Amino acid sequence: MHCPADDSTTLPLRCPAPAPRGRAPWRGCLAGIALMAHAAFAVPAHAGADGVSVLHWWVSGGERASMDAIRDFTTGRGIAWSEFSTPGSGTARYTDVLAARVRAGRIPTAAQMIGYDIHAWARRGLLDDLDDIAAREEWDEVVPDEIQRLSKWQGRWVAAPFNAHSTNWLWLNKHVADRLGITRPPDTWADLIALLDRARAAGVPPIAIGHEAWEHTLLFESVAAGVGGAAFYRRAFVDLDPSALTDAVATTIFDRMRQLSGYLEPGYMQRRWDEATDRVARGRALLQVQGFWVDGELRVRGLYAGVDYQCWRFPDTQGMVLFNSDQFIFFRRPAGERAAQLRFASALMDRELQTSVNLRTGAAPARVDVRKALFNTCGRQAIAELRGANMRRTLLGSIGMGNAHPSSVKIAIYEVVTRHLQRRIDTPAAVAALRQAITPHR
């Protein structure tokens, strides 16, 4: 992922003081931003009365195709479009750029956001109220409750969700798998280990992964869900109840993570997530444990689901959907710009747009009433399983993507997981640190 040039790079990207360990690096500066933002409405934000300015982090090949779909649908409705992008997937780098823009008065119409970071901005009174359009278009009726929990602040809509990625997936190069005689999804942990052993014995790196903590935590959350089940996952990581992390369950989770660390492709700490995807796409590694955005990356490389690659659920998580929903938050803007802003919110929630953009991302639409016939086999499976998990209450926020709990907890868990994966702490220390990471937040 390169960092595209834009005028935000001339601004200071960090808040004046460092945040305490375990807190989002930008959270402390939001309070100071709030007063500036209220006074900044007179400063141009590259939009105007008939347009929208959008900040996002979608810069990889598959992501760019998806943002193009949003842009084309928006301009097709007669709304002028300007955009600024920086890589970061909701991390400190991305949020620093957004915070710098707000401080300088260059407030976008809308900004891509995920998980509890939405609430961090809403808490400061910076976001517009979308309740009127949400009621008129019946968003409550078509968006799963767990996603609504993130889209709303104090019961009112402040964000428009347009997809629901799932993170507990195995992405396999089908040609490599076929050559190794791997033709069925691993149902259990033992099945997965046997599959990885077969790849290693054949000289094929079993698991491709990148260097970032969020990637390591996606692996962790799939292992945790498989070990403890949906009720455990909700209690431990959504409700943040440390008593759920019994020694037996937590030790098994980290022991399995330690076991998987032996199957990671060498050099992973020098690799980005999309470079790991490329390793799988080229047959240089067997599989990647990643979110559904990988489907978009493989498709943009000209590969076909069921022909060139397989999408299988992580073993023992069948029936569970660990989700990450991409959303746009909408900043309070002058009255003259609000009409275009609301038209953009309406466009994002349109069934046609959610079909078009998610045909490219590979994700399930955030709306549960979108027809799945146009999607590939992986997409149809994702949509069906999202609907089923929504009904069974096994739709659960991703730890790694910040959809399960506030950012401060996410960052604390990142540190525990990535240090353990790199063998910098042992399993007993990791168990204690994980319990400590969630305990203060009850």
Range of the domain at 67: 7-164+325-390
Length of the chain equals 442
Examine the domain organization and report whether 368 and 408 are in the same domain.
Answer: no
**In the prediction, which pLDDT does 335 show?**
87
Examine the domain organization and report whether 286 and 252 are in the same domain.
Answer: yes
Examine the domain organization and report whether 335 and 357 are in the same domain.
Answer: yes
| pLDDT at residue 430 greater than cutoff 70 | yes
- 248 vs 86, higher pLDDT: 248
d(CA 263, CA 207): 6
Examine residue 333 and state whether it is found in any structural domain, yes or no.
Answer: yes
Read off the pLDDT of residues 384-396 as tens digits, 9 standing for 90 and up. 999 999 999 999 9
For residues 193 and 182, the answer to whether their CB atoms sit within 8 Å is: no
Question: What mean pLDDT do residues 205-209 have?
Answer: 99
**In the prediction, which pLDDT does 92 show?**
66
Examine residue 408 and state whether it is found in any structural domain, yes or no.
Answer: yes
Examine the domain organization and report whether 269 and 407 are in the same domain.
Answer: yes
Using the Cα atoms of residue 50, residue 55, residue 73 and residue 135 in order, give the sign of their dihedral. negative
| pLDDT at residue 9 greater than cutoff 60 | no
Question: What mean pLDDT do residues 211-220 have?
Answer: 97
Tell me the CATH number at 414. Answer: 3.40.190.10
Using the Cα atoms of residue 61, residue 310, residue 271 and residue 425 in order, give the sign of their dihedral. positive
Examine the domain organization and report whether 186 and 255 are in the same domain.
Answer: yes
For residues 408 and 24, the answer to whether their CB atoms sit within 8 Å is: yes
- 115 vs 36, higher pLDDT: 115
pLDDT-derived band at 32 (thresholds 50, 70, 90) equals: very low
Domain count, the chain: 2
Residue 130, CA distances (Å) to 71, 127, 135 in order = 21, 9, 9
Read off the pLDDT of residues 134-186 as tens digits, 9 standing for 90 and up. 999 999 999 999 999 999 999 999 999 999 999 999 999 999 999 999 999 99
Examine residue 349 and state whether it is found in any structural domain, yes or no.
Answer: yes
Examine residue 139 and state whether it is found in any structural domain, yes or no.
Answer: yes
**In the prediction, which pLDDT does 441 show?**
58
For residues 290 and 212, the answer to whether their CB atoms sit within 8 Å is: no
d(CA 213, CA 414): 5
Question: What mean pLDDT do residues 339-367 have?
Answer: 95
Beta bridge partners of 169: 290, 313
| pLDDT at residue 54 greater than cutoff 90 | yes
Examine the domain organization and report whether 258 and 359 are in the same domain.
Answer: no
**How many other CB atoms sit within 10 Å of the CB of residue 435?**
18
| pLDDT at residue 23 greater than cutoff 50 | no
Examine the domain organization and report whether 253 and 365 are in the same domain.
Answer: no
Examine the domain organization and report whether 56 and 154 are in the same domain.
Answer: yes
| pLDDT at residue 14 greater than cutoff 90 | no
Q: Which of 394, 389, 349 is nearest to 369 (CA)?
A: 349
**In the prediction, which pLDDT does 87 show?**
74
Examine the domain organization and report whether 215 and 289 are in the same domain.
Answer: yes
Examine the domain organization and report whether 158 and 291 are in the same domain.
Answer: no
Q: Are strands 207-208 and 309-313 parallel, antiparallel or unpaired?
A: unpaired
Instruction: Specify the pTM.
Output: 0.86
Examine residue 2 and state whether it is found in any structural domain, yes or no.
Answer: no
Type of residue found at 28: G
Q: Are strands 309-313 and 169-173 parallel, antiparallel or unpaired?
A: antiparallel
Examine residue 135 and state whether it is found in any structural domain, yes or no.
Answer: yes
For residues 71 and 56, the answer to whether their CB atoms sit within 8 Å is: no
pLDDT-derived band at 88 (thresholds 50, 70, 90) equals: low
For residues 121 and 341, the answer to whether their CB atoms sit within 8 Å is: no
Examine the domain organization and report whether 64 and 185 are in the same domain.
Answer: no
Which residues contact residue 276 at a Cβ distance below 8 angstroms, ignoring those fewer than 6 apart? 208, 209, 210, 215, 265, 268, 285, 288, 290
Q: Are strands 326-330 and 159-161 parallel, antiparallel or unpaired?
A: antiparallel
Examine the domain organization and report whether 42 and 133 are in the same domain.
Answer: yes
Task: Please give the share of the chain, as a percent, with pLDDT higher than 90.
Answer: 81
| pLDDT at residue 27 greater than cutoff 50 | no
What is the DSSP track for 406-437? -HHHHHHHHHHHHHHHTTSS-HHHHHHHHHHH
Which residues contact residue 282 at a Cβ distance below 8 angstroms, ignoring those fewer than 6 apart? 173
Examine residue 1 and state whether it is found in any structural domain, yes or no.
Answer: no
What is the DSSP track for 260-317? HHTTBPTTGGG--HHHHHHHHHTTSSSEEEE-THHHHHHHHTT--BTTTEEEEEPTT-
